[in-house]
A and B are shown apart, each in its own frame.
Chain A
């Protein structure tokens, strides 16, 4: 059987919802065709059975000729066998079609989600992406299956119509006009249900919000109380959802009853007319039996047609969501600006090389300047940055690492060139920022520390030792091979912070920006971390934004940034402690609860 997921291919840019559905089906047209052929064979087996049975009744039973009867039964057998045996293949084609679409859309959502959530920084909530993955994907995955349903329904309808017309113009005409009319009627009735169904769905989703909210915040509820209040809140919503559900029960039961009524009237009506025709000698008894069979059969293509419309409507709504997702532009252009950037970078490199020859000072090989604050990072140094204001600290980190939207008024220059003009991929390779509360991915501990699998165990353990986390690795069964759950739930806050710091060390960038890397660990661990990270990064530019004296103390140089976000003092840690009252204030106030 084929391999799923298939290699990912992005849908065309600026695709419309309809275009997206066409693209989705087109990507797997081979299995869609297979499914359609199976559907046709399956439905025709059913459609032709009444015809053969009618002949068997007329030429066999009515005529009293058992040989002729058996001969016509001989026609019924392969029709039934065909219908039965194709079921397996038909189901297989349907499942394959479903799974192919499903994994394709999931791949698409996964690929779009990280870009979209960063870009929007709240334009799209991460939760919305997950909802999309659970509900919209379902709606979209039925489209490919539906193609076969639609085509086979139309073909079998036409086939039966032709047979009926040949037997009786009146009955044939009635079926051809009546079935679509009934079908349309049914569809309209079901549509009128929708308002109440939406009401019920809204009530249910409100209830679910409360349920999910209390499950997520259960630590708080169990810790401090409020369970009863929440339960009451839930019961209220639950009762509302129940009442809305009951309100839907009436129209829904009427719709179901109408389905029975319409299908039944069709069958009975045709039989009735057929019976009258028999009394007039215009129709044989066997043909009447056939008519009864056809009328019963016609319910199936009608149902399939209705179902196709429903699926298409739902899929279109889902496709609109996906198209919206595809429209969100990335924060940093990846391809378009890349070419221009690469040229500029090459020019800059030439210039730097020229400067290298002229200048003896090795610190000038590489430098980064944040124009907004006036902060300069030189090659090979360990720079401590003390920022009083929390927001300023985060903004500084985001600017240097180009994690925020490019701002023409706050240029960051690498060798004098604005990093906004460099390809984003290159920036990400060269500059890495590490957050104080790291987001850890699940997988083995090795994958967690070295997600891209570029380092050997020896290097990984060296980085682990540098952040004083060897005890964490030693304590778990299996060491680096241990499986870590979502977000590293097994680890304490301090352990997670150390593992996150080790992960950023292992990305081995030219410039590493560590934002409060030791805020969750105790003082002795902090001291060992500071020394370890310093040793690990020796000779490579590292910025530690921190207010901890233990961290700032190991820096080659410290810069103090004031509330306006500007560098107001630079120098060695001890020097600043002696000379700058502001610096003393920042460093000492950081010491937790006072």
Chain B
């Protein structure tokens, strides 16, 4: 009963994907970087012009010359603004393209997650990746990447400009390098862990809130308000511990890194000032180099800030890519030769060493109704999953028409054998589309016939927009029974020759089950039905009954045969009918 979780992609894979993105859009990336570079260059001109202007002014330049410099600086600002506009626009456009491709690929991965994994891991983790991780990657692609790119380009160009203006003064910048290296190394070693811990602390928080909101009725019925309040306080306290980690990290890194940024400003001023008084450089040059040093502070700070975001984005990126690593194997291209379903000596273990089925052989006669009975946990549902090809037997074979179930392509398999579970998710779409998804090529009339078969046509017609009424989240509300009818209409439309019913009616709100009998009967019409039975009446009505006991097929035969044998089924039956549940009266 260990929770199975979706994997995260490894570092290698993440790097390969990033390289792939770069290669695909290389030309546009280069243009964006060039535009940002050009705008940074335009921004570097004014400090240089101010320096020269100061030298001219100390040399006694007149107002006309001063205005010339003013106009030149203004022109630089204009050019910079225009370049910034183009740079940002192309970066945003490119970001949209890249991110759109990523999310489309991700969705296609999500829709290929193997059924077995969905069944055992639940959909919660997938929903988290679909919402939080995608939005985190979006933030990275749209903001963190371009902003850190701008910052990096600006830093490099500013350093180059300072070195060109006066290598002698600019060499003073180097004084900051040792401190910067120590601080950054210290920070990088710790940051990833701190931010990962903090990122992980949000999940339990939303989980607790979601549980409280969704379980509101239970909270009320059992007076659990205090318990739930304590739960949120607990997760908040745990989140706070991670937040303190972040605060402590930044308490150290921020003063030291800022000190490191201040060193070039101060050093170039002091050193340049001395050189200027010695007559080796002009005052203007000192001012320019000092201004460049000051101009380095903002992009360097941005680089540190965005490093966090980039780290978070990378973590999410790995989680998103991870979904693609569990793609369902496309299977073979086997074609079943008949509609006969069979299990041959299958064994199955969810965990090694904990075998659930110990060699079950079962041949289902086409057209028959087979009931599988047995105590909870005997392995009935596992059997159903093997028959439907959701899980692979550890040993033995599950077959349709003489070929392995898993070798039959998925699309084809669904037209052969379909597992009907209690799950009846209604999508935010029209009634028609909700049913049509079982057979997307089906015309409206086919869908309508399926709705009629399950008795849904009447109430569908009475909906505000009839069959085009939007249902599901945010749409017209449906009752549990109505949702179930739509789910069954999907089965009718999918039209498999063999149906496996697992808790199809019994695990939903039983109060709705009654309305569904007719619908279910219509669905079963003309098909082979394998029913996982909780109610003995189901077994009584079946052509044959298979009794599963502790992972083994204990008994197999008709109702009468099994009664005559006097085994465990006969015991169960006697216990049940003695309580008045005899079906004779019906």
Contact = CB atoms under 8 A, between A and B. Distances in A.
A118 B377 CA distance: 34
Given A553-B580, A588-B585, A589-B514, A268 B215 contact: no
Contacts of B276: 61
Interface stretch (B23-31, B222-230, B392-400): B222-230
A573 interface: yes
Contact of A249 (B3, B89, B244, B269): B89
Contacts of A133: 205-206, 209
Contacts of B353: none
B104 to A, nearest CB: 6
Given A257-B82, A550-B579, A66 B122 contact: no
B214 to A, nearest CB: 5
Contacts of A252: 88-89, 92
Contacts of A550: 576, 579, 581
A212 B67 CA distance: 60
B535 interface: yes
Interface string B157-171: 000000000000000
A253 B89 contact: yes
A507 B219 CA distance: 12
A288 interface: yes
A19 to B, nearest CB: 24
Contact of B89 (A87, A235, A250, A285): A250
Q: Which of B108, B218, B538, B586 has the most CB of A within 10 A?
A: B218
B106 to A, nearest CB: 9
A587 B581 contact: yes
Interface string B491-512: 1001000000101011111111
Given A88-B250, A271-B70, A435-B217, A61 B273 contact: yes
B236 interface: yes
B162 to A, nearest CB: 17
Q: Which of A73, A275, A452 counts the most chain B CB atoms within 10 A?
A: A275
B244 A522 contact: no
Interface in B122-145: 122-124, 126-127, 129-131, 134
B213 A129 contact: yes
Interface string B91-104: 01100110110011
A292 B376 CA distance: 80
Contacts of A507: 222
B232 A106 contact: yes
B477 A238 contact: no
Instruction: Give the interface size class of chain B.
Output: 35 or more
B510 A218 contact: no
A486 B259 contact: no
A29 interface: no
A64 B277 contact: yes
A130 to B, nearest CB: 5
B22 interface: no
A394 B517 CA distance: 20
A285 B232 contact: no
B302 interface: no
A279 B57 contact: yes
A225 B427 contact: no
Contacts of B214: 117, 126, 439
Contacts of A66: 273-274, 277
Contacts of B92: 245-246, 248-249, 252-253
Contacts of B196: none
B103 to A, nearest CB: 6
A364 B478 CA distance: 43
A118 B207 contact: no
B473 interface: yes
A69 B269 CA distance: 10
A219 B425 contact: yes
B438 A224 contact: yes
A238 B104 contact: yes
B262 A84 contact: yes
Given A253-B92, A256-B84, A493-B507, A218 B581 contact: no
A288 B237 contact: no
Nearest to B428: A213
Interface stretch (B7-15, B111-119, B187-195, B556-564): B111-119
Interface string A475-504: 111000010011101101111011000011
B175 interface: no
Interface stretch (A75-83, A157-165, A337-345, A456-464): A75-83
A5 B538 contact: no
Contacts of B270: 70, 73
Contacts of B39: 260
B424 interface: yes
Name, among B39, B219, B581, the residue most crowded by chain A CB atoms within 10 Å (CB to CB).
Answer: B581
A443 B53 CA distance: 71
Interface stretch (B71-79, B334-342, B360-368): B71-79
A80 B585 CA distance: 94
B427 A223 contact: no
A587 B535 CA distance: 12
A278 interface: yes
Contact of B251 (A3, A88, A127, A208): A88
Contacts of B88: 249, 252-253, 256-257
A455 B146 CA distance: 57
Given A225-B438, A492-B381, A485 B122 contact: yes
Interface residues on A, range: 35 or more
Contacts of B277: 60-61, 64-66, 69
Contacts of A407: none
Given A246-B92, A252-B92, A520-B506, A220 B425 contact: yes
Given A107-B236, A524-B572, A429 B119 contact: no
Given A88-B252, A213-B428, A285-B57, A439 B110 contact: no
Contacts of A485: 3, 122, 124
A215 B222 contact: no
B290 interface: yes
Q: Most chain-A Cβ atoms within 10 A of its Cβ — which of B107, B127, B290, B507?
A: B107
Given A66-B277, A553-B579, A432 B255 contact: no
Interface stretch (B306-314, B401-409, B415-423, B453-461): B415-423
Contact of B124 (A76, A390, A486, A519): A486
A452 B240 CA distance: 25
Contacts of B124: 485-486, 489
Given A126-B210, A441-B215, A451-B224, A224 B418 contact: yes
B333 interface: no
Contact of A593 (B78, B509, B531): B531
Given A77-B266, A254-B85, A261 B533 contact: no
Contacts of A64: 277
Given A231-B111, A486-B122, A61 B286 contact: yes
B44 interface: no
B1 to A, nearest CB: 5
Contact of A113 (B71, B212, B237, B425): B212
Most chain-A CB neighbours within 10 Å: which of B81, B87, B113, B213? B213
A522 to B, nearest CB: 5
B97 A242 contact: yes
B255 A224 contact: no
A465 interface: no
B46 interface: yes
B58 interface: yes
A89 B247 CA distance: 9
21 contacts: A5-B236, A110-B209, A110-B232, A215-B129, A219-B421, A223-B421, A225-B437, A229-B433, A233-B429, A245-B96, A261-B77, A268-B77, A272-B71, A275-B67, A403-B221, A442-B207, A442-B211, A443-B231, A492-B376, A523-B536, A592-B533
Given A53-B290, A268-B70, A549-B576, 4 more contacts: A223-B419, A489-B124, A592-B533, A593-B538
Query: Which A-B residue pairs are the 10 nearest by beta carbons?
Result: A226-B437, A390-B511, A272-B70, A264-B77, A591-B537, A592-B535, A217-B425, A493-B507, A84-B258, A257-B85
